[in-house]
Amino acid sequence: MLGAASAQAQDTKVTIGYQLIDGPFLTAIANGSFEKATGYKIDWRQFSSAGDITSAFASGDVPIGVLGSTGIAAATTRGVDMELFWILDDIGRSEALVARNGSGIKGPQDLKGKKVAVPFVSTSHFHLLVALEQIWHIKPSDVQILNMKPPQIVAAWSRGDIDAAYVWPPALSEIEKTGTTIITSEEVGKKSVPTFDGLVANRTWSAKHADFMNKFTKVLAQSYADYRANGAKWNADSPEIKAMVKLAGGTAKDAADAVKLLVFPTAQEQASAVWLGGGKSGGALRALTNSAEFLKNQRQIDKALPDYGPYVTDKYAQAAAK
């Protein structure tokens, strides 16, 4: 009996990985909504890069976590068995390439020979390479592209060790104070492929814990609906912003500004062809397919999969949208 009770308790514990991305998801983490709705004991583990969270996923340590669209494409191509079940945000203006004041970079062509930091295999890395090759027609090899996590970027920036960086808040908010924005992911996306942050789950784990997944996704839907209704009132003094800062760091003002740069799809939009629904015409599937093709061309992956459909599901969003 004791062994059965222990196994049952273990079955209602889960580790979920999150990254430093402001929004309704962090607010729901902070107020304990997920635990209340699911009855699970959740160990919230913070990661600072796509590579770190992918490794934790591949090892089985983390069955649910946050990854950008490029990270999802790379991980699934390499055999990590995950499914995208929620669009955390449409990245838009919340990722950008910023040149440090005094670096001598006035425009894109000045990037040649300069040190540009970015977290590798991230959405920022993807859009940096897209901007260089497809928009400005600059060979990536002509730029010194350095692999750094967001906290490392801020430290290197303050020392003057790098000339530019492509990253997201709170690191972006910090470097923008002493830099000039060259291009944002909203601009790159309009000229190529948009990027997004998503929540992914281990497919075997999610099938076994379908009730948890449905309740978890309903909390997401409610928190996003609350933001849609009241987000305009979120400012540096609001409890939602303060809760995000407690989890992700930075300042309340920077967090309030960062949230306004992102787009948070409703449950109905999530379930539609705009994002998770729509089969092969769905926005998320198209973004993963295009991201994988680009990663292959950049030799980040050996080959792209013929179909990324098995790694995108709208079933939880569909249930939450009802």
pLDDT tens, the chain, 322 aa long:
444 444 444 578 999 999 878 899 999 999 999 999 999 999 999 987 788 899 999 888 899 999 999 999 999 999 999 999 999 999 989 999 999 999 999 999 999 999 999 998 888 998 999 999 999 999 999 999 999 999 999 999 999 999 999 999 889 999 999 999 999 999 998 888 788 999 999 999 999 999 999 999 999 999 999 999 999 999 999 999 999 998 888 889 989 998 998 989 999 999 999 999 998 889 999 999 999 998 898 788 999 999 999 999 999 999 999 8
Pairing mode, strands 41-46 and 164-167: unpaired
Whether this prediction's pTM lies above 0.75 is answered by yes
Q: Are 124 and 70 in contact (CB under 8 A)?
A: no
Compute the distance between CA of residue 190 and CA of residue 92 in angstroms, rounded to an integer. Answer: 9
Of residues 194, 197, 162, the one with CA closest to residue 179: 162
Find residue 181's DSSP bridge partners: 98
Residue 278 corresponds to which tokens in the numbers above? 């729509």
Which CA distances in Å does 233 have to 31, 241, 256?
A: 18, 10, 10
In angstroms, rounded to a whole number, what is the distance separating the alpha carbons of residues 198 and 63? 14
Give the pLDDT of residue 10: 56
Q: What's the pLDDT score for residue 5?
A: 40
Sheet holding 13-18: strands in order across? 41-46, 13-18, 64-68, 196-202, 82-90
Q: Is 209 exposed, middle or buried (0-12, 13-18, 19+ CB in 10 A)?
A: buried
What is the reported pLDDT for 15?
96
Considering only CA atoms, which of 95, 314, 313, 81 is closest in space to residue 197? 95
* Nearest-5° Cα angle at 277, 273 to 281: 55
CA atoms of 73 and 291, how far apart (whole Å): 6
pLDDT of 193: 79
Give the model's pLDDT for residue 28.
Answer: 96
Whole-number pLDDT of residue 36 = 97
Asked whether 44 and 32 are in contact (CB, 8 A), the reply is: no
How far, in Å, are 66, 71, 98, 319 from residue 200 at the CA level?
6, 11, 29, 17
Distance CA 83, CA 320 (A): 17
Amino acid residing at 267: A
Q: Would you state the pLDDT for residue 192? A: 84
Q: What are the Cα distances from residue 227, in Å, to 27, 134, 224, 240, 244?
A: 10, 35, 5, 10, 13
Q: CA-to-CA distance for 28 and 30, rounded, in angstroms? A: 5
pLDDT of residue 281: 86
Q: How many CB atoms lie within 10 A of CB 141?
A: 8
Q: State yes or no: cis peptide before 170, omega within 30 of 0.
A: yes
Report residue 307 as tokens.
Answer: 């179909």
Torsion sign over Cα 279, 280, 284, 288: positive
